[in-house]
C-alpha cells in the first residue's frame, strides 16, 4: 500500500511544494521545489485579482503533479498538508491577504484533486519533524549564556522550546534547511547569479517539514518531547529528552569549559 502526500508552504510570492510517497518501507521524496508567483503580469495587479492570477499559476503546477503521479505511478495524491499562515506581523492587511490566499489555494486543491487539506502551524511542523530541536534555552535574548541556576530551573520545569540550543536571533530557516539537506541530500538546490543559495529554497524545505511534521504529529497523537533525566556537574549539564521511542542526548557547557 502506498500514499502520495503533497506539502505546501504558501506565501503570495512563492509557494514551496513537495510530494512524498509513503509505503511500508518508509518515505521517499518525489518532488521538492519552489513555485515563483511574481512575474510581469502579477506585478501589475493588486488585491484579489493578483491573488486569483497567482492561483492560476499554482493550479497549472498542481495539474502537472496530478498528471505525473498518474502517468508514473498510476496513482493519485490523497493527502495534502499546508503550513498555517504565521501572523507575526502587526499589519492586519498583510495577515488578511495571507489568510485569503491560503483559502483560495485550499479551494483549488479540493477542486483539482478532491482532497480537503490539513493545516499545521510552523511551530508544530518543526517540532514534530525534528524533535531534537526541542531543548532547554541556553542563551537569553541578549545573547548571554544563562546561569546554572536558570538552567537548572528550566530543567526542573521541563521547558523545551524550539531551537533552545541556539543563540537568540539565529536564522531558524537556515537551521531547518540544513537539517533537510542533511536528511535529503539529493533535493534540488537553486543558486542565484552569485552562486549563493536562493531564499526560495527555504520555501521548498518548509513544505517538506509540513509533511514530516504532520505525519509524526498524527503518529504520536500530539505527544510532545519531554526531559527524562539530567545531570548537573561543575562544568557542564547533561540531559536527555524523549519523543516516542527516540532518546536525544544534550550537553550544555558551563563557564566556557569544554
| pLDDT, tens digit (0-9, with 9 covering 90-100), for 244-253 | 999 999 999 9
In terms of Cα–Cα distance, which of 133, 246, 220 is closest to 180?
A: 133
Place of cell 499546508: 82
**The predicted structure's pLDDT at residue 18:** 98
Position 258 confidence tier, pLDDT thresholds 50, 70, 90? very low
Share of the chain above pLDDT 90, in %: 74
pLDDT of residue 90 exceeding 60, the answer is no
CB 213 within 8 A of CB 125: yes
- CATH topology for 3-128+170-220 is Nucleotidyltransferase; domain 5 (3.30.420)
pLDDT of residue 184 exceeding 50, the answer is yes
pLDDT of residue 88 exceeding 70, the answer is no
Question: Structural domain boundaries of the chain?
Answer: 3-128+170-220, 136-165+224-253
Residues 33-60: what's their mean pLDDT? Answer: 88
CB 132 within 8 A of CB 200: no
pTM for the full predicted model: 0.91
Amino acid at each position: 500500500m502506498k500514499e502520495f502526500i503533497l506539502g505546501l508552504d504558501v506565501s503570495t510570492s512563492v509557494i514551496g511544494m513537495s510530494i512524498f510517497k509513503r509505503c511500508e518501507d518508509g518515505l521517499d521524496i518525489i518532488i521538492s521545489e519552489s513555485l515563483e508567483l511574481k512575474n510581469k503580469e502579477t506585478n501589475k495587479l493588486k488585491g484579489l485579482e493578483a491573488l486569483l492570477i497567482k492561483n492560476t499559476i499554482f493550479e497549472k503546477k498542481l495539474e502537472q503533479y496530478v498528471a505525473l503521479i498518474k502517468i508514473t505511478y498510476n496513482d493519485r495524491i490523497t493527502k495534502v498538508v499546508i503550513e498555517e499562515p504565521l501572523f507575526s506581523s502587526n499589519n492586519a492587511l498583510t495577515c488578511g491577504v495571507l489568510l485569503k490566499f491560503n483559502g483560495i489555494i485550499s479551494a483549488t486543491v479540493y477542486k483539482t484533486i478532491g482532497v480537503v487539506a490539513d493545516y499545521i502551524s510552523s511551530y508544530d511542523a518543526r517540532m514534530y519533524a525534528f524533535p531534537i530541536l526541542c531543548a532547554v534555552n541556553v542563551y537569553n535574548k541578549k545573547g548571554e549564556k544563562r546561569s546554572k541556576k536558570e538552567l537548572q530551573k528550566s530543567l526542573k520545569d521541563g521547558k523545551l522550546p524550539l531551537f533552545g540550543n541556539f543563540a537568540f536571533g539565529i536564522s531558524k530557516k537556515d537551521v531547518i534547511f540544513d537539517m533537510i539537506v542533511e536528511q535529503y541530500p539529493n533535493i534540488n538546490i537553486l543558486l542565484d547569479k552569485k552562486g549563493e543559495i536562493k531564499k526560495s529554497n527555504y520555501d521548498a524545505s518548509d513544505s517538506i517539514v509540513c509533511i514530516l511534521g504532520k505525519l509524526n504529529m498524527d503518529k504520536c497523537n500530539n505527544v510532545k518531547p519531554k526531559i527524562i533525566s539530567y545531570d548537573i556537574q561543575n562544568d557542564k549539564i547533561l540531559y536527555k529528552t524523549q519523543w516516542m521511542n527516540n532518546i536525544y542526548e544534550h550537553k550544555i557547557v558551563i563557564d566556557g569549559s569544554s
